[in-house]
């Protein structure tokens, strides 16, 4: 059973110092936990926003998207309708696949960030 913080008597300075020390330790642990979670979230956000991570994880989709963009741009400069249609089709398919993969990645991150069990000791010391 986790120990609870109890109010101290005004005439017991040793107990008051122990309580202060325990509170400072608990605050320090909570700060470190919050800091580590924020750093992990920052790393995941940077990874999700980096185009390099997508190319690294899905090189095939990236190549198809680049080919589609190239065809669409080259068809936009010329009068070839088939190239433009093919380019836009490749872009659409690549973005659909990338969107599905991105949602899977977000679901995985969400599942990883969800605590395994709910906190049960509200207000109790994290010993």
CB crowding 97-118: b at 16 or more within 10 Å, else e: ebeeeeeebeeebeeeeeeeee
In DSSP notation, 101-119 reads: HHHHHHHHHHHHHS-SS--
**Residue carrying the six token digits 């979670």:** 37
pTM metric for this prediction = 0.42
pLDDT tens by residue, the chain, 127 residues = 455 555 545 568 889 999 999 999 999 999 999 999 889 888 888 887 787 887 888 788 778 778 777 777 776 655 567 666 777 777 788 778 878 887 888 788 777 776 665 555 545 444 4
What is the Cα–Cα distance from 58 to 37, expressed in whole angstroms?
27
């Amino acid at each position: 059973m986790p120990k609870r913080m109890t109010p101290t008597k005004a005439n017991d300075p040793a107990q008051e110092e122990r309580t202060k020390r325990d509170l400072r330790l608990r605050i320090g642990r909570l700060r470190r936990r919050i800091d580590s979670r924020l750093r992990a979230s920052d790393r995941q956000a940077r990874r999700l926003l980096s185009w390099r991570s997508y190319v690294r994880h899905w090189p095939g989709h990236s190549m198809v998207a680049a080919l589609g963009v190239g065809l669409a741009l080259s068809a936009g400069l010329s009068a070839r309708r088939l190239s433009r249609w093919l380019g836009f089709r490749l872009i659409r398919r690549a973005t659909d696949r990338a969107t599905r993969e991105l949602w899977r990645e977000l679901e995985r991150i969400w599942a990883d960030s969800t605590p395994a069990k709910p906190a049960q000791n509200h207000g109790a010391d994290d010993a």
